[in-house]
């Protein structure tokens, strides 16, 4: 996912594949999800409350007049008291239902690698946060073709949307998520963790959004179960601004 770099064809490096499918322009800097990921500045850390959405004010309700009180009806007949009904069956106490605790983000091991077999992706995972301006930091330098987990999102396996990002191309050519837009629903995404375990996700859908219409809440907002988002750049290249016009987002849920 490179916004500022569409390099010309160059030699293959460990983070890129040998084939080339389209010409790319060599530029000095590489940026990720400009406009889209910048929206993360709303503040999403772990599984916390999502930014509130606007709620329309309800239509005012007309006041209802209180009816006149009903006069009690007098009667000469005595009121027969109702005898309690006795039963020999013991009352079964209702057992309290225990709500399983939501596993904290910190309880999950840190992610170390990601693989998407259907598109031949296998990458270590960097751990990146926010830049000083509130935008998400992106892989660069020697790590430009390595995928990254956004450490402001839940750890993979925890409740909420874990976020993994990567470039579509770089100064080295095709980058780690060059083929991300071709992932099919039902495909598997595996995330290896530092304790040697692997958490697997199943792809639900793949979406492409113009960067000026990036759906921040849909991507970064709270979820009731563990989910995954994989993000890169997409669409056509805009030479005037040196960025791709769109973002590609893969939505996935935890495999059973």
For residue 127, give the CATH number of its domain: 2.40.260.10
Backbone angles phi, psi at 9, to 5 degrees: -60, 130
What is the total count of domains within the chain? 1
CA–CA gap between residue 127 and residue 35 (Å, rounded) = 21
Residue 54 belongs to some domain of the structure: no
pLDDT tens-digit map of 101-140: 444 456 899 999 999 999 999 999 999 999 999 889 999 9
Domain ranges, residue 160: 37-43+104-254
Strand pairing category for 160-165 and 147-150: antiparallel
Q: What is the pLDDT of residues 137-165, one digit of tens each?
A: 999 999 999 999 999 999 999 999 999 99
Residue 216 lies in a domain: yes
Q: For 203-227, what is each residue's pLDDT tens digit?
A: 999 999 999 999 999 999 999 999 9
108 is a domain residue: yes
Both tokens assigned to 255: 């495999």
As a whole number, mean pLDDT of residues 81-86 equals 52
């Amino acid at each position: 996912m490179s916004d500022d770099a569409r390099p010309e064809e160059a030699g293959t490096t460990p983070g890129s594949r040998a084939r080339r499918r389209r010409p790319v322009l060599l530029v000095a800097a590489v940026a990720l999800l400009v406009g889209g990921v910048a929206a993360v500045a709303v503040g999403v850390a772990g599984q916390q409350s999502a930014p509130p959405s606007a709620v329309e004010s309800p239509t005012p309700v007309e006041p209802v007049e209180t009816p006149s009180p009903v006069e009690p009806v007098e009667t000469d007949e005595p009121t027969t008291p109702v005898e309690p009904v006795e039963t020999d069956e013991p009352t079964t106490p209702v057992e309290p239902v225990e709500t399983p605790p939501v596993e904290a983000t910190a309880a999950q091991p840190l992610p170390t690698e990601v693989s998407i077999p259907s598109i031949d992706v296998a990458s270590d995972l960097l751990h990146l946060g926010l830049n000083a301006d509130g935008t998400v930091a992106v892989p660069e330098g020697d790590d430009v073709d390595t995928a990254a987990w956004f450490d402001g999102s839940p750890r993979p396996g925890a409740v909420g949307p874990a976020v993994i990002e990567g470039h579509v191309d770089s100064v080295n050519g095709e980058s780690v998520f060059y083929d991300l837009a071709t992932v099919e629903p039902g495909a598997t995404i595996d995330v290896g963790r530092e304790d040697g375990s692997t958490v697997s996700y199943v792809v639900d859908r793949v979406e492409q959004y113009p960067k000026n219409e990036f759906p921040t809440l849909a991507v970064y907002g709270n979820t009731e179960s563990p989910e995954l988002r994989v993000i890169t750049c997409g669409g056509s290249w805009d030479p005037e601004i040196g960025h791709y016009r769109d973002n590609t987002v893969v939505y996935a849920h935890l495999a059973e």
